[in-house]
Amino acid sequence: MTNASQEVMQPAVQSVQSFDAWMAAVQATMEQALSSFLPDAAQAPQELHQAMRYAALDGGKRVRPLLAFAAGELFAAAPQQLQRAAAAVEMIHAYSLVHDDMPCMDDDALRRGKPTVHVKFGQASALLAGDALQAQAFLVLTDGAGDADCKLAMVRLLAQASGSLGMCGGQAIDLASVGLHLSRQQLEQMHRLKTGALLRAAVLLGALSGKLLTPTEEQALDRYAAGVGLAFQVVDDILDATADSATLGKTAGKDAADNKPTYVSILGLDASKALAEQLRQDAHAAILSFGDKAQRLRELADLIVQRKA
């Protein structure tokens, strides 16, 4: 049996009541699930597997898995399938961070309060760890039980969100924009791709772990994800300019130092904060029709906009 096909037995996190307790339960479940879905560190090639585990485990807010779980709970998704969907999107995210930090991109030495993967393991291992995390994400998604049509939809969704019309495309625009003044529309497009696309995938993958969506359900979740997806990167830009490295676990002030166009550099701090708040409200409005069942999604929109790290 491969690591990717092992299932993690966990109590149903849905039964936990407070948001903080629910969040802690999902984060703990995901730590264990990710660990079981990654090759063992002792398995050859050890350094590659160690670098993959270093990148994906023991750190991060796990916002994408939280979104997947919250959306999955709307449709009573089975926990085992949710764990796979959430782990897949988190592996893509972890890979994107490993590559984002490399000298050819943002050249960062600190991530999640630890030395970045290329600092710890060298550039070649970091490159390969990112590549292998991406492949592992799709393996995890396709393994395990579940409806084949749902799985196909999920694979396509995650591939689109990760590729040249999703996260990679956004990263390409980001790198090509250093030192340029982008219009507000160009900036929004860059942020929607580099960050919004994976957050949208997290929401829809979680929902698809429950069932194939009706067009109305998909539209509502899409509108919600558009709000939180853009808000997430607007807040990331705000925190880069206002928080310190110890709080963030990554180098603060890096965007201005690197001459990157951000919401803060283009709109200013106050207008960026107002926009994030507006997007939070848009996200809430989008899921009104789901009623009480969407409480976790509402709480996550609040967290994404009000977070301090």
CA dihedral 261, 305, 245, 202 (to 10 degrees): -80
Provide, rounded to whole angstroms, the least separation between the CB of residue 269 and ligand IPE.
Answer: 16
Residue number of the CB closest to Mg ion reads 106
Which CB atom, from 194 or from 280, has the smaller least distance to ligand IPE? Answer: 194
**Which of 64, 209, 236, 300 contacts Mg ion by CB under 5 A?**
236
Sequence-distant (6+) residues with CB within 8 A of 152 are: none
SS (H, E, C) 257-283: HCCCCCHHHHHCHHHHHHHHHHHHHHH
Residue 251, binding choice from ligand IPE, Mg ion, none, Cβ under 5 to 8 Å by partner class: none
Which CB atom, from 151 or from 194, has the smaller least distance to ligand IPE? Answer: 194
Judged by CB under 5 A, the number of residues near Mg ion is 4
Which residues in this chain contact ligand IPE in the complex, by CB under 6 A?
60-61, 63, 96-97, 100, 106, 112, 167, 171, 194-195, 233, 236, 240, 250
Give the whole-angstrom CA distance, residue 277 versus residue 23.
Answer: 22
Residue 125, binding choice from ligand IPE, Mg ion, none, Cβ under 5 to 8 Å by partner class: none
User: What phi and psi values does residue 261 have, to the nearest 5 degrees?
Assistant: -70, 130
> Are residues 254 and 225 in contact, defined by beta-carbon separation less than 8 angstroms?
no
Provide, rounded to whole angstroms, the least separation between the CB of residue 108 and Mg ion.
Answer: 6
Which CB atom, from 4 or from 89, has the smaller least distance to ligand IPE? Answer: 89
Sequence-distant (6+) residues with CB within 8 A of 286 are: 220, 221, 223, 224, 226, 227
Residue 31, binding choice from ligand IPE, Mg ion, none, Cβ under 5 to 8 Å by partner class: none
Give the whole-angstrom CA distance, residue 167 versus residue 201.
Answer: 11
Type and span of the H or E element at 113: none
Binding mask 95-124 for Mg ion (x = CB under 5 A): -----x-----x------------------
Q: How many residues does the chain have?
A: 309
Provide, rounded to whole angstroms, the least separation between the CB of residue 218 and ligand IPE.
Answer: 23
